[in-house]
């Protein structure tokens, strides 16, 4: 009996501890605890997509939702004076890239945002980088590829060789244009090209505006061309060629931080840690809410 009581007491102590910590987190000032001036590091790695994918083995991707969540943490932390966006991405979704770029432009109105380009920052990866306050490209970076692409696999001949016939029932002349069961017609090709060129012009306009360049200059260096960091600097696509440490120092400088800056990194937790943290947060929140509602709010009396 005494053993069961000891176990129960231990569990109660743990729950009370979680409750008090959660109550403090809920009740503390929005600015949080100032632990020295810091640079927040947010990573854009892998494909830029509206959806991160499903399953433990899903491909690495960055979504606007995830990025905005981490960006908000940095903006609301008063100890964070500047933000470093670390980009290692070949691009991805037009919509997702535009969403992230817009979030960066909004953030830089409050705190300086420096982009550091890693091994690759092309297409959508460069699109989001262009929205930052300052761009540092690693000496080994491949960047650029300002352009838009849409691919439509067509395997009608393969189906024919396999003896497979497709019966398509549709309402609308163009509803089956992207199925791959048949080649695109000239009119369908023109329809898709019109959309692609609209996106392309949007891409060029955004880069020109973000980098303070003329549309004519950006168009002349676009066309999907890729560049080394040195050449990108010469063309005005990046501000400086340097390592990650150079980018950190630049962010610290723009944020008014003296000396070696402290870093705080926001990134996705491993699946187990995510589940565990979420469970503990919900458990503690329930007890914290009860404490707060009973008037047990921490503070000076």
What is the C-alpha separation between 170 and 175, in angstroms, rounded? 7
Q: What is the DSSP secondary structure assignment for residue 92, as one 8-state letter? A: B
Q: Of 106, 104, 124, 123, whose CA–CA distance to 114 is shortest?
A: 104
Catalytic, out of 175, 214, 230, 269:
175
Which tokens go with 68?
């905005």
Tokens 């509602």 correspond to 293
250 close to 114: Cβ distance less than 8 angstroms: yes
194 close to 166: Cβ distance less than 8 angstroms: no
Q: Quick one: three-class SS letters along 34-75?
A: CCCCEEEEEEEECEECCCCCCCCCCCCEECHHHHHHHHHHHH
Give yes or no: 123 in active site.
Answer: yes
Tokens 């979704």 correspond to 93
Catalytic, out of 49, 93, 123, 145:
123
Which tokens go with 98?
């535009």
What is the C-alpha separation between 236 and 213, in angstroms, rounded? 8
Q: Of 230, 234, 267, 227, whose CA–CA distance to 123 is shortest?
A: 227
Q: Of 208, 238, 212, whose CA–CA distance to 220 is shortest?
A: 208
251 close to 112: Cβ distance less than 8 angstroms: yes
Catalytic residues: 123, 175
């Amino acid at each position: 009996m005494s053993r069961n009581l000891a176990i129960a007491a231990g569990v109660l102590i743990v729950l009370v501890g979680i409750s008090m910590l959660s109550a403090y987190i809920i009740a503390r000032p929005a600015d949080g605890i100032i632990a020295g001036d810091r640079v927040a590091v947010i990573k854009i790695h892998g494909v830029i997509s509206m959806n991160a994918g499903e399953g433990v083995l899903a491909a690495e991707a960055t979504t606007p939702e995830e990025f905005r969540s981490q960006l908000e943490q940095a903006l609301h932390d008063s100890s964070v004076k500047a933000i470093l966006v670390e980009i290692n991405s070949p691009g991805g979704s037009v919509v997702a890239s535009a969403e992230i770029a817009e979030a960066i432009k909004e953030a830089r109105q409050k705190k300086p945002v420096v982009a550091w380009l890693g091994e690759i920052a092309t297409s959508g990866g460069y699109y989001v980088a262009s929205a930052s306050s300052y761009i540092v490209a690693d000496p080994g970076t491949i960047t650029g590829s300002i352009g838009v692409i849409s691919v439509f696999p067509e395997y009608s001949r393969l189906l024919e060789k396999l003896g497979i016939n497709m019966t398509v029932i549709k309402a609308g002349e163009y509803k089956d244009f992207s199925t791959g069961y048949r080649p695109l017609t000239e009119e369908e090709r023109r329809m898709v090209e019109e959309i692609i060129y609209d996106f392309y012009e949007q891409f060029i306009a955004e880069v020109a505006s973000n980098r303070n360049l003329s549309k004519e200059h950006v168009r002349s260096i676009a066309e999907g061309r890729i560049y080394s960091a040195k050449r990108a600097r010469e063309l005005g696509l990046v501000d400086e060629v340097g390592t990650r440490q150079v980018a950190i120092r630049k962010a610290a400088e723009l944020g008014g931080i003296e000396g070696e800056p402290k870093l705080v990194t926001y990134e996705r937790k491993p699946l187990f840690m995510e589940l565990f943290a979420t469970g503990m947060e919900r458990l503690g929140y329930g007890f914290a809410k009860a404490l707060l509602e009973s008037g047990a709010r921490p503070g000076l009396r």
